[in-house]
Amino acid sequence: MEILLQLVVSGIALGMIYAVIAFGYQLTFATSGTLNFGQGEALMLGALVGLSLVGTIHGGPYLGYWLMIPVVVVFGALQGIFVEWIAVRPAIRIKSEFGWIMSTIALAIIFKNVAENIWGKDVLPFPSPLSSEPFTVLGANVQPMQVAVIIGALAIMFAVEIFNRKSIYGKAVVATANDRDAAGLMGINTGMVITFSYALSSATAAFAGALIAPLTLTSATMGASLGLKAFAVAIIGGLTSGMGAIVGGIILGIAETATGFYLSTGYKEVPGLVLLLLVLAVKPSGLFGKAAIKKV
Amino acid sequence: MNFKVKALVAGVVLGWSMSGMAAEPIRIGVSGPFTGGSAPMGVSMRDGVRLAVGEINAKGGVLGRKIELVERDDEAKNERGVQVAQELINKEHVVATVGYINTGVALASQRFYQQAKIPVMNNVATGSIVTKQFANQPENYIFRNSANDTIQSAMIVEEAIGRRGFKKPAILADSTNYGQLGREDLEKVLDKKGVKPVAVEKYNIGDVDMTAQLLRAKQAGADVVLTYGIGPELAQIANGMQKLGWKVPIVGSWTLAMANFIDNAGKNGDGTRMPQTFIQNPDTPKRKAFIDAYVKAYNPPGGRMPSAVSAAQGYDSVYLLAAAIQQAGSTEGPKIAAALEDLKAPVEGVVATYNKPYSHTDHEAINFENTKFGEVRDGRVVQAK
């Protein structure tokens, strides 16, 4: 029983990381129907910029861990605006169906190369703001930082949801998500809203990067596999549901740790991907997604 | 111009061109990963090689010729290693190559040297079969001066089971050639001792969560963890054990001495033990001179060599090769190989003084005598007591 609990706890901590990145995919998909395939790289950049601020690699530390987070979030937002401006806007303008896929992937590779040149190709340790000594909950060992990741991930998703539902700007986002053309006719600057959603999406990813770095170690290549798994989570949970991202993330996280333990660590990645195939076959809009009817 | 003057001019020109030929450098290839997870080993090896070449050249070189290095980054990738091998042999015309950190890269690339009859001096790669790949051929051009996995696995098991008396070992190895060949060696040695590992787990390069593997080992009641992998993931193992609040000793292959394990594991890595051929400890004048020269030339952070073993073995590999070229009086591959197999004078290195290190059937310079145990303590590798 303790073992199962330990697996669940570790799975949830892992899954919440996937969930935050998947949430970032959803934000831009809602407003523009496009995704930033460099979401993992946005996370990586957030973590590395955070490391430069709190670590000693670039002459620091300049800031404490908690003060660094807002800076990283602002950096993430700017990075998101840049991605939208370079890679997505041209594709939307010419109504290209797939142009943004290649251009966001291209940008992701460029970001990775730039990061390799600035921070090197090696794996770097990230100083942990909390004690790394685990405490015991019902026989399962939990690190304070894992709890911080879970709380932080939920908090940022909650904050974005509140913003979208309550504020006037958020309503513009929701309106654009519902019907971009109608929103445009109502006087909403939909181009601006799409840019904003990219800023928000990369900012959440950068935030997640700074949050998980003390647990996972930082490197220029840390984003690639996380970004891919989060994409699977977004598909499993549904690209239109914030709840879906959380549930999908937790399912994938627990599936990975549980398979690793009960079956074999060699097959750790398989059940998540099998689940992905199942969802695509049975309910293509995801577990929590609304089926979109494309009228032609 | 009369004939005499013509003859004089011709003589002078000939003399010039001869002296030009005599000064032609001896080109030696260096192949290793200078970027990525294996980079601390590759870069240290290269730096050790450069130090040795600098010293030899300062004393006038070998056979009156300077040594020139042709360095290539194989990125720890098999296919890249093959390209590098072909380039060094066919385009750069090296007389020998030193290097190879990664067993997989060595195995993929060596065949080209074997075919071209050019000696390879493996100075870091440890896979047991590296020097035996062409052992059935009349001439084997693959030599080594690192502690191979047969030696390492035997030492790891002796340390964990024999000396410290643990009964239930768990093996954690990565899924690369290096990890899996090492795991086989470990299982073989354990089997000879009549011990069966309680858990044998595998993980991939880049894994960030070792919970499942460690829980299986913990559940099976392991009292010691034996590892075969490289720095960053080994650090994830040490850190993962702390996440689970499970503390048993780690004993593993020499890679536990890598800076990227020690730094990323922090205090979780303390007490970890691994076989080492060289520890950054100036216990002889020769070693002190080597360490001082290394620190002065490359100024590593905190004065700590990122991988002291690789640097020392890289350094020694050049001296072994230079001694063989000197003895052979030639830069032809078969003659160098024959000289290596029958080195007359002892070669003084920093790992050991090599007294007839190789024979026709034995291409391993390192044995149990010149391998010792290192232990991680406060961010450094020290000799285990």
Question: Average pLDDT by consecutive 10-residue portion of chain A (296 residues)?
Answer: 83 88 87 86 93 81 85 94 90 82 90 88 81 77 85 87 83 83 85 88 91 84 85 86 86 87 79 86 81 60
Q: Give the type of residue at A44.
A: M
Inside any domain, residue B216: yes
- What's the pLDDT at A116? 86
- Mark which of B213, B246, B276 sits at the end of a domain: B276
Length of chain A: 296
CA distance B210 to B241: 8
How far is it, in rounded angstroms, from Cα A289 to Cα A275?
15
Average pLDDT over residues B31-47: 87
Q: What are the distances in angstroms from CA A28 to CA A174, A210, A276, B380?
A: 11, 21, 21, 47
Same-domain pairing of B269 and B330: no
Within 8 A of A40 by CB-CB distance, chain B residues are: none
Q: Per-residue pLDDT for B17 more than 80?
A: no
Reduced to 3 states (helix: H, G, I; strand: E, B; else coil), residue B70 is: strand
What's the rounded Cα separation, in Å, for the pair B112 and B81? 11
**Pairing outcome for strands B224-228 and B250-252:** parallel
Put the strands of the sheet holding B26-32 in their side by side order: B67-73, B26-32, B96-99, B120-122, B142-144
- The structure tokens listed for B71 are 């360095």
Which of A126-130, B46-50, B378-382 tops mean pLDDT? B46-50
Q: Are strands B169-174 and B199-203 parallel, antiparallel or unpaired?
A: parallel
Query: Quick count: other Cβ atoms within 10 Å of Cβ A28?
Result: 26
Is residue B5's pLDDT more than 80? no
Share of chain B above pLDDT 70, in %: 95
pLDDT band at B115 (very low <50, low <70, confident <90, very high): very high
Does residue B316 have a pLDDT over 90? yes
- Examine residue B77 and state whether it is found in any structural domain, yes or no: yes
Same domain for B79 and B100? yes
- Point out the domain boundary residue: B276, B299, B314: B276
Residues B200 and B142 in one domain: no
Judge if B64 and B113 occupy the same domain.
Answer: yes
Determine, for residues A6 and B244 on separate chains, whether the beta-carbon distance falls below 8 Å. yes
Instruction: Nearest by CB to B216, from A122, A221, A261: name it.
Output: A261
CB count in 10 Å sphere of residue B137: 9
Question: Residue B188: which residues within 8 A CB-CB, separation 6 or more?
Answer: B153
The per-residue b/e assignment along A110-125, b for 16 or more CB within 10 angstroms, e otherwise, is ebbeebbeebebbbbb
Query: Both B218 and B272 in a single domain?
Result: yes
Would you state the pLDDT for residue A275? 85
Which range marks the domain in which residue B244 is found?
150-276
Q: What is the rounded end-to-end Cα distance, in angstroms, of chain B?
A: 81
pTM of the model: 0.78
Q: Is residue B125 part of a domain?
A: yes
Please report, in angstroms and rounded to a whole number, the separation of the first and last CA atoms in chain A: 53
**CA-angle at B291, arms to B285 and B293, nearest 5°:** 100
B173 and B267 belong to one structural domain: yes
Q: Which residues in chain B have Cβ-Cβ distances shorter than 8 Å to A221?
A: 206
Lowest mean pLDDT among B97-111, B174-188, B201-215, B265-279: B201-215
Residue of B nearest to A212 (CA): B208
Maximum distance among all Cα pairs of chain B, rounded to whole angstroms: 97
**pLDDT over 70 (residue B204):** yes
Q: Is the pLDDT of residue B21 over 60?
A: no
- Residue B8's pLDDT band (cuts 50, 70, 90): low
B219–chain A Cβ distance below 8 A for any pair: yes
B102 and B168 part of one domain: no
Contact by Cβ (8 Å): A202, A80: yes
Identify whether B380 is part of a domain: no
User: Can you give the CATH number for the domain in which B164 is found?
Assistant: 3.40.50.2300
Average pLDDT over residues B351-364: 89
In a domain, B307, yes or no: yes
Classify residue B67: in a domain, yes or no. yes
Q: What SS3 state is found at B383?
A: strand
What are the DSSP calls for A16-71, one per residue? HHHHHHHHHHHHHHHHHS---TTHHHHHHHHHHHHHHHHSSTTS---S-HHHHHHH
pLDDT digit string, tens, across residues B125-175: 988 889 988 988 888 999 999 998 999 999 999 999 988 889 899 999 988
- The answer to whether position B376 is within a domain reads no
In a domain, A293, yes or no: no
Q: Same domain for B272 and B303?
A: no
Contacts of B232 in chain A (CB under 8 A): 123, 217, 219
Which residues of chain B from 134 to 153 reach within 8 Å of chain A, CB to CB? Answer: none
pLDDT, position A159: 86
CATH of the domain at A60: 1.10.3470
Structural domains of chain A, count: 1
Nearest to A121 among B39, B209, B216 (CB): B39
Mean pLDDT score of chain B: 88
Q: How large is the greatest C-alpha to C-alpha distance in chain A, in angstroms?
A: 58
- Name the token pair of A69: 């987070």
pLDDT in tens, B205-260: 777 778 888 988 998 899 999 999 888 889 989 988 988 888 899 999 999 988 88
Q: Is residue B172 part of a domain?
A: yes
Contacts of A55 in chain B (CB under 8 A): none
pLDDT category at B292 given cuts 50, 70, 90 is very high
User: The domain containing residue A22 runs over which residues?
Assistant: 2-282
Instruction: Evaluate whether residue A292 is within a structural domain.
Output: no
What is the tally of structural domains in chain B?
2
The conformation of residue B36, written as its DSSP 8-state character, comes to S
Coil, strand, or helix at residue B37? coil
Question: Which of B287-323 are b and which e, b meaning 16 or more Cβ less than 10 Å from the residue's Cβ?
Answer: beebbeebeeebebeeeebbbbbbbbbbbbbbbbbbb
**Chain-centre distance for alpha carbon B235:** 21
Query: What is the interface pTM, i.e. ipTM, of the complex?
Result: 0.72
Query: B208 and A217 in contact by Cβ < 8 A?
Result: yes
How distant is the alpha carbon of residue A88 from its chain centre? 18
